[in-house]
Amino acid sequence: MKIHILTLFPDMFAGPFADSIIGRAVDQGLVEIDIYNIRDYTRDKHHVVDDSPYGGGPGMVLKPEPMFEAVEAVKGDGEVPVILLTPQGRLFNQTVAAELAGREEMVLVCGHYEGVDERVRQHLVTDEISIGDYVLSGGEFAAMVVVDAVVRQLPGALGSEESVGDDSHSNGLLEYPQYTRPQSFRGWEVPQILLSGNHAEVERWRRGQSLKRTAERRPDLMERVALSDEDKELMARVEREEI
Ligand code: 6GU
């Protein structure tokens, strides 16, 4: 996979992409991440990237020319998605991450200031993504979030100890509670069932806990999961505090 990131602040990406799962995926050649400074694609003497909005008002707007020049220079031929990170975009979630993980190449464009010239939206970008309903100073942190969620899904990105399958949201539910040693910590015990060695019972307990946690914390997610008869029974048992 090839990810091109266009930004006015290329230095922001060095740290987060160097370590952990992304850094390892880059080292393994699973993904190539190229960072470009939009300012390098200006043609005027002062390398101007923004200007005041037509019609007046506060703030500055990113000019179209450097954005078009940059995108056209970095993307290969063919159908490469050009994604603008903006609070006006469609909401990012695990489904969108999985969709992007299936692409071979993509361009992420980080907006800044008051916004980008509307012609960038209309004639250059193919998709707009927001990572949530709050305002960031720019698209850089959003691009890092998107890259992390996408790259960790690439085959081979996670080590054998790590797994994508049980993560929160991977099955539409929040993850079940996890415990490790010691068995007793300050008088707080690990649930007995996890020590039982009964694999089927452990799986049932985990599914029940996932369902309970999701129903309590994220009822909006519950509306989208298909509950089996066993799920309904498990939820009833959890409610009766039988498990
Ligand atoms: Cl993608 N950009 C900005 N500037 N703010 C955001 C966002 C993106 N997603 C949520 N808030």
pLDDT tens string, the chain, 243 residues long: the values are 999 999 999 999 999 999 899 999 999 999 999 999 999 999 999 999 999 999 999 999 999 999 999 999 999 788 999 999 999 999 999 999 999 999 999 999 999 877 999 999 999 999 999 999 999 999 999 999 999 999 999 999 998 767 766 778 888 999 999 999 999 999 999 999 999 999 999 999 999 999 999 999 999 999 999 999 999 999 999 889 887
**Pick from 111, 109, 113: which is nearest to 126 by CA?**
109
Does the Cβ of 97 fall within 6 Å of ligand 1?
A: no
* pTM (two decimals): 0.93
Distance CA 61, CA 118 (A): 9
Going from the Cα of 144 to the center of ligand 1, the distance in angstroms, rounded, reads: 11
pLDDT of residue 165: 67
Looking at residue 161, what is its pLDDT?
A: 67
Ligand 1 pocket, residue 146 CB under 6 Å: no
Of 200, 201, 207, nearest to 234 (Cα)? 207
Scan for tokens 């992409």, then name that residue: 17
Which of the residues are catalytic?
87, 114, 152, 167
The number of angstroms, rounded, from the C-alpha of 190 to the middle of its chain's C-alpha atoms is: 32
C-alpha–C-alpha distance, residues 67 and 109, integer Å: 8
